[in-house]
Amino acid sequence: MTIARPVRAMAPGKINVSFRVGPPRPDGYHSVASVYLAVSLYEEVLASPREDGRVTVEVRSGSELDFDLDEIPLDESNLAVKAALLLRDLTGHGSGVHLEITKRVPVAGGMGGGSADAAAALVACSALWDTGLSREELVRISSVLGADVPFALHGGVAVGLGVGDELTPALARKDLHWVLVPASFGLSTPKVYALADKLRERAGTVAEEPEEVDPAVLQAMNSGDVAALARVVSNDLQAAAIEQAPELADILDLGVGEGALAGLVSGSGPTVAFLTAGRRDAEELAQRLSDVAGVVALPVHGPVHGARIMA
Ligand SMILES: C[C@@](CO)(OP(=O)(O)O)[C@H](O)COP(=O)(O)OP(=O)(O)OC[C@H]1O[C@@H](n2ccc(N)nc2=O)[C@H](O)[C@@H]1O
Ligand SMILES: Nc1ncnc2c1ncn2[C@@H]1O[C@H](COP(=O)(O)OP(=O)(O)O)[C@@H](O)[C@H]1O
């Protein structure tokens, strides 16, 4: 029997360009309406066969960022391990695999790094084990791993309804250029959702079921009107993220003061994303933020492709 050769896959992090959150549901989740954008910060997963049938993982940093890799579990709760086990259980294909994750997306940063690991692991293991599943089939099975995993497979721009997993592709006429300011700490997604509920309760606001995303966001992306997009980006979790980490408000002010067209917290935070008019503006803003405030600032662009095999 020939032993399969290792397979390397990559998957992108994301920004929620617009994020509406409904009231809490009985299952602990919230209905959302998200405009997801995949950006050029990629996780990599190298899947190598193991003859002993075990599924194991190791994680290393592929970034200049100071990642707290100790935050990432190395047991069966690691999202990449969960993905490999799910694929093996569902298809009956495959045996043991060792997964080597190279992280570039901030850990617990609101950019779906763990979801990207799960998506890259699905693609890599599916090729390693020759399951014959299509991308669409992988997208369909992936939502049990987490609300954001289908989008990490899908990539590009998409509207996410349900818990974020019911995807419809959308279009961006132009590449959008952003500057990311990652934090040196993470925020817990469930805690930020719970705090958002509490803030609404305190303010006496009744959350509506978000049935669609803001059409102005899709229109601005469709027409490539970055200035119009800057006026409509928004995130219902932002206030809760700022309540947990008040320094995010200062970072938002700083970026806008330094010339960003708009700034918002990505997902449940704490990464802050600034929209700029183009590649040059993003590079210049990143430089200024690092000169003026000494923060790490990464220029990125999107849309980029979803999870895929690397040569
Ligand atoms: C907020 C968002 C925005 O894209 O991203 P991140 O900030 O995590 O990157 C997502 O909704 C996060 O998706 P993901 O991180 O995949 O969530 P999951 O693992 O499925 O769920 C973790 C927990 O988050 C809460 N959760 C998640 C999704 C959702 N629509 N409603 C929720 O209330 C639930 O408490 C759930 O138990
Ligand atoms: N492969 C993984 N990479 C990162 N985090 C993981 C992974 N597997 C499980 N986790 C857990 O998920 C949490 C959130 O992960 P992450 O996807 O980085 O952030 P976010 O949900 O804010 O986008 C981490 O704190 C960690 O405990």
What CATH number is given to the structural domain containing 196? Answer: 3.30.70.890
Domain boundary among 148, 170, 192: 170
Residues 6+ apart with CB under 8 A from 65: 104, 106, 182, 296
In contact, 80 and 124? CB cutoff 8 Å: no
The reported pLDDT for the residue numbered 124 is 98
Beta bridge partners of 159: 35, 168
Domain extent at residue 121: 7-170
Query: What's the confidence (pLDDT) of residue 142?
Result: 97
Report the atom number in ligand 1 closest to the C-alpha of 266: 7
Q: If you take atom 27 of ligand 2, which residue's CA is the nearest one?
A: 72
Question: Is the CB of residue 252 less than 8 Å from the CB of residue 218?
Answer: no
Identify whether 26 is part of a domain: yes
pTM to 2 decimal places: 0.97
Report residue 47 as tokens.
Answer: 């899947």
Residue type at position 149: V
Which of these is catalytic: 148, 165, 214, 236?
148
pLDDT score, position 1:
56
Same domain? For 116 and 265 the reply is no
Q: Which residues pair with 265 in a beta bridge?
A: 272
Residue 148 bears catalytic tag: yes
- The candidate with the shortest Cα–Cα distance to 87, out of 133, 21, 33, 42, is 133
Task: Taking the CA atoms of 93, 143, 38 and 185 in sequence, report the sign of the dihedral they define.
Answer: negative
What pLDDT does 64 receive?
85
Please write the tens of the pLDDT for every residue from 75-91.
999 999 999 999 999 99
Q: How far apart are CA 309 and CA 311, in angstroms?
A: 7
Task: Classify residue 128 as exposed, middle or buried by CB count within 10 Å of its CB (0-12, 13-18, 19+).
Answer: buried
Same domain, 146 and 229: no
Asked if residue 202 and residue 142 are part of one domain, the reply reads no
Residue 309 lies in a domain: no
170, 190, 206: which is the final residue of a domain? 170
Each of the 311 residues of the chain gets a pLDDT tens digit; together they read 567 899 999 999 999 999 999 999 999 999 999 999 999 999 999 999 999 999 999 999 999 888 889 989 999 999 999 999 999 999 988 789 999 999 999 999 999 999 999 999 999 999 999 999 999 999 999 999 999 999 999 999 999 999 999 999 999 999 999 999 999 999 999 999 999 999 999 999 988 899 999 999 999 999 999 999 999 999 999 999 999 999 999 999 999 999 999 999 999 999 999 999 999 999 999 999 999 999 999 999 999 999 999 98
Instruction: Please indicate, yes or no, whether residues 183 and 99 belong to a single structural domain of this protein.
Output: no
Phi-psi region of 110 (alpha: psi -120 to 50; beta: other; left: phi over 0): left
Name the domain boundary from 105, 135, 170.
Answer: 170
- The best mutation among 46, 71, 145 to test binding of ligand 2, ranked by most ligand atoms within 8 Å of the C-beta, falls on 71
Query: Is residue 98 within 8 Å of residue 57, measured between CB atoms?
Result: yes
* 251-287 pLDDT per residue, tens: 999 999 999 999 999 999 999 999 999 999 999 999 9
Mutation to probe ligand 2, out of 55, 58, 72 (largest number of atoms < 8 A from CB): 72
The predicted pLDDT at position 65 comes to 83
In this prediction, residue 30 carries a pLDDT of: 98
Q: What is the dihedral of CA 162, 166, 171, 174, to 10 degrees?
A: 70
Note the pLDDT of residue 272: 98
Count CA atoms closer than 13 A to 135's CA, side-chain side: 12
pLDDT of residue 31: 97
pLDDT computed for residue 252 by the predictor: 98
Residues 24 and 153 in one domain: yes
Nearest to 153, CA basis, from 76, 16, 38: 38
Q: How many CB atoms lie within 10 A of CB 243?
A: 15
Question: Based on the domain organization, do 138 and 181 belong to the same domain?
Answer: no
**Token pair of 163 as six digits:** 């818990």
- CB of residue 210 inside a 6 A radius of ligand 1: no
Report the domain count for the chain: 2
